[in-house]
Amino acid sequence: MLILRSLRLAVPSLAAVAALAMSAPVANAQDVGTVNVQARAPTTVRLDIRGMDRIAVSEAVHIAASDVCGNAIDNREVDLGDLIPCRDATVGKAMKHYAAMTSSGNVAAIDRAIVLSAR
């Protein structure tokens, strides 16, 4: 008797669920457009300057600045005519950071890396 009563209650519920499922909108396949992925050259670099004197740091900074600014031009983030100003500004920021690091006097606390960015 209990089973019949449970079935009488379950049948309308199942019918309602079925009706709801039938009335749900059908998922249609959509046209997926092409995905445009571009490889980008790095415009930031971290230089390890442990064991380098000021001249070696300056040479490494100049080379790295040329690289990151050249990459920024390749990525179309900087105009071709702005290579030299970009490089000069990047070198200036890095060497200013280096000067601040070395003037602190606490050699053990000096971060032995400089991060250069073309931006």
Whether the predicted pLDDT of 4 surpasses 50: no
- How many alpha carbons lie under 13 Å from residue 105 in its C-beta half-sphere? 0
In a domain, 94, yes or no: yes
**Total of domains in the chain:** 1
In a domain, 58, yes or no: yes
In a domain, 37, yes or no: no
Whole-number pLDDT of residue 19: 62
Taking only the tens place, the pLDDT of each residue in 29-70 is 676 677 777 778 889 999 999 888 899 999 999 999 999 999
In a domain, 55, yes or no: yes
Alpha-carbon dihedral angle through residues 107, 113, 114, 118, given to the nearest 10 degrees: -170
Q: Which helix (H) or strand (E) holds 102?
A: helix 83-103
Mean pLDDT of the chain, nearest integer:
79
Q: Domain of 103?
A: 44-117
Taking only the tens place, the pLDDT of each residue in 68-102 is 999 999 999 999 899 999 999 999 999 998 888 88
Whole-number pLDDT of residue 63: 96
In a domain, 50, yes or no: yes
